[in-house]
Amino acid sequence: MNRVWLFFHKMGSPPWFYRFSGKLLPWLWGLFFVLAAWGLYLGLVKAPPDYLQGESARIMYIHVPAAWMSMLIYVLVAAMGLIGLVWHVRIAEIMAICSAPIGAFFTAIALATGSLWGRPTWGTYWVWDARLTSELVLLFLYLGVIALYNSFDEPRKAARAASLLALVGVVNLPIIHYSVTWWNTLHQGTSISASGSSIHPSMLWPLLIMAVATKFFYAANLLVRTRHRLLLQDHRKQWVRNVIMKEGS
Amino acid sequence: MSGVQSTGALRALLKRDLLLAYRRRSEMAQPVIFLLVVVSLFPLGVGPSPQLLGTIAPGVIWIAALLATVLSLDSLFRSDFEDGSIEQFLLSGHPLTLIALIKTAAHWLTAGLPLVLLSPLLAVWMNLPAEGARVLVLTLAIGTPVLSLIGAIGGALTVSLKRGGQLLSLLVFPLYVPLLIIATNAVSAATAGLPFAGQLGLMLAGLVGALTLAPFAASAALKLSLE
């Protein structure tokens, strides 16, 4: 227990975090590249084309992990924001706000790939289907958090305000999701949806590998963004000078 | 601080806010006029067919109500923030959560209630059948307090920004989605002669939830804005 607490306390210190994340980063990027290459090879080359949708179903290996990440990251933004708000941990505040753009990009990727997938299979780029709509609302929630952060001059106050908004959003997220599902099912009766358990292993494995790969991508990207923002915010502090002297030489 | 003292202070605050609103009548009338103008644009835009207007009426009136509420939200805390009243509220020792709740209540009484009272006229304009119109008034009566309560969080978050108005709408509109869906569905169901008690029940649940949770978020946001 003691060692765990010590670890968390150390993580709260910018110079320690910077050094630790620097050592971690190559591993995270390496795992991401290996897993993504493996998953994409299995998904794009080895997996059979879908019997109904043909080759277009392969977009699933990007689309589904991106959609999963879009929701996971929003919850993480709120969780890290809560840690920042309650315990005043600056690293958590910065990580929360650095996660938001990554989550927004995953949401945008999920929407874009979904719309490209919808064209050959549903015959249209966009329908007001429950999943599409809640993903779109999620994108708006992300944009709200980012916009609120950017409108403050003082970074700490900005991060705290954005964290609070993310917390309000995460309480609303399930309500939005269920209300949208309910709204759609009342209007349309049946809709096209992936039945999770009925996926053949040859298609399921690349999907799972890609889902893990995107987690590593998120972790690596988040650390890069957090390190960058730490350097910017602390640019007058001694530890940043030491880092620059060491890495610059 | 004892409960009795707080009750007196909160009553005084409500009275003060209502009086201030009364003194600024023309400013308070703006959201109402806005609602009338926006709704009247729809028949001009989509054509005067009574059938079509009746179908889109719940959505049009509700969206216009959302826009009108957001328009008035920016001023909810702004003048008190700029003249330092909010700081004095905080220093007074009375719970800021209750102060936020009272200010939200005053906002609903001056900006939300007029929309509810005006909605029968809008229903006639949009050719909404009588059964639908009754439920429209009901949904607005339950829903506009929720709009004020959730909006107060956004208003408190953006109060220290110079130009918070546009940002405020970006923050709160996604949060209004469930309410919009359920309310318009209740009105459409009532028009079609279907039961709508479930939708109203969900809206009431939303009202209770917002009433209990939103003031805490709003007061946290106010404290943050004062930092």
Q: Which ipTM value was assigned to this complex?
A: 0.89
CA-based nearest residue to A68, from A208, A195, A167: A208
What are the residues facing A54 on neighbouring strands? Answer: A50
Pairwise CB contact (< 8 Å): A179 & B177: yes
Domain that holds residue A217: 65-192+199-235
* pTM for the whole structure: 0.90
Do the domain assignments include residue A23? no
Specify the range with the lowest mean pLDDT, choosing from A112-126, A172-186, B107-121, B157-171. Answer: A172-186
Burial (Cβ within 10 Å: 0-12, 13-18, ≥19) of residue B47:
exposed
- Number of Cα atoms under 13 Å in the Cβ half of residue A75: 7
- Give how many domains chain B has, as a whole number: 1
Domain that holds residue B128: 3-226
pLDDT-derived band at B144 (thresholds 50, 70, 90) equals very high
Do the domain assignments include residue A74? yes
Minimal CA separation from B94 to chain A, in Å: 22
Percent above pLDDT 90 for chain A: 47
Do the domain assignments include residue A6? no
The runs of H, that is alpha helices, within chain B are 3-23, 25-46, 50-73, 75-82, 85-91, 96-107, 113-125, 130-158, 165-191, 197-226
Pairwise CB contact (< 8 Å): A144 & B171: yes
Mean pLDDT of B132-158: 95
> What mean pLDDT is reported for chain A?
86
Q: What was the pLDDT predicted at B79?
A: 87
Do the domain assignments include residue A2? no
Pairwise CB contact (< 8 Å): B224 & A180: no
Do the domain assignments include residue A47? no
pLDDT-derived band at B99 (thresholds 50, 70, 90) equals very high
User: Chain B residues with CB-CB distance to A under 8 A?
Assistant: 150, 153, 157-158, 160-161, 164, 167, 170-171, 173-175, 177-178, 181-182, 185, 206, 213, 217, 220-221, 224-225, 227
Mean pLDDT of A173-196: 64
Q: What was the pLDDT predicted at A185?
A: 58
